[in-house]
A and B are shown apart, each in its own frame.
Chain A
Amino acid sequence: MLLARIIGTVVATQKDERLVSSKLLVVQPLDAHRAARGGQLVAVDTVDAGFGETVLIVSGSSARLAGQLQETPVDAAIVGIVDTVELTEH
């Protein structure tokens, strides 16, 4: 899974009907030190995340295991709001 920061929202009135109730957020993936890393993406929010928060993203087919997304055409879902990341420097 990826750490990411919520950097925006997407409004799409015309979309697949299964996405109707989904909140679409723009996220910037982060490395373990919370520095931006890699391209931004759109993820479905299942934990009511807010702008600027650091979150946990699940990608690919596993994203449909989150919330009520089983039949939803999504490949990235926000499944947690990160409180702390503790690293042991090796």
Chain B
Amino acid sequence: MQLARVAGTVVATRKDPGLHGLKLLVLQPLAPDGAAAGASLVGVDSIGAGVGETVFIVRGREASFPFLPRQVPTDAAVVASVDSWFVDDTAPES
């Protein structure tokens, strides 16, 4: 899973019925230091995330799980809004 920033929204009126009523968000994956890391992608919102927020995304088939039993054809979903995080990757090999 990855940290990401909600960078925008996508509107698509003609779409698979499985996506009806769900918000499509433009997501920019982030490195632990908060910098953009890698290409942006589109994911389905499952928690009511807002543009500009830092979130947590899951990719692949599991991205459809937050919506079960409903069958949502997505390979990326926002599953959490992040309040804060701490990383110390300078720690010595223990």
Q: A interface vs B, CB < 8 Å?
A: 1-3, 31-32, 37-38, 46-48, 56, 58-63, 65-67, 77, 79-88, 90
Asked if B8 contacts A80 (CB within 8 A), the reply is no
What are 13 A-B residue pairs whose CB atoms fall within 8 Å in the complex? A32-B40, A37-B39, A56-B24, A59-B75, A62-B60, A62-B64, A62-B75, A65-B74, A66-B16, A80-B10, A80-B12, A80-B16, A84-B10
Known A81-B14, A82-B11, A83-B11: A1·B42 in contact at CB below 8 Å? yes
Bound-complex Cα distance A58 to B71 (A): 13
Where chain B touches its partner, the secondary structure class is mixed
Of A32, A37, A63, the most chain B CB neighbours within 10 A belong to A32
B89 to chain A, nearest CB (A): 24
Known A37-B39, A80-B15: A62·B74 in contact at CB below 8 Å? yes
Known A1-B75, A31-B39, A80-B16: A62·B63 in contact at CB below 8 Å? yes
Number of interface residues of B (CB under 8 A): 33
Asked if B19 contacts A80 (CB within 8 A), the reply is yes
B92 to chain A, nearest CB (A): 34
Other-chain contact of A85, B8, B18, B74 (Cβ < 8 Å): B8
Contacts of B10 in A (CB 8 A): 3, 56, 80, 82, 84-86
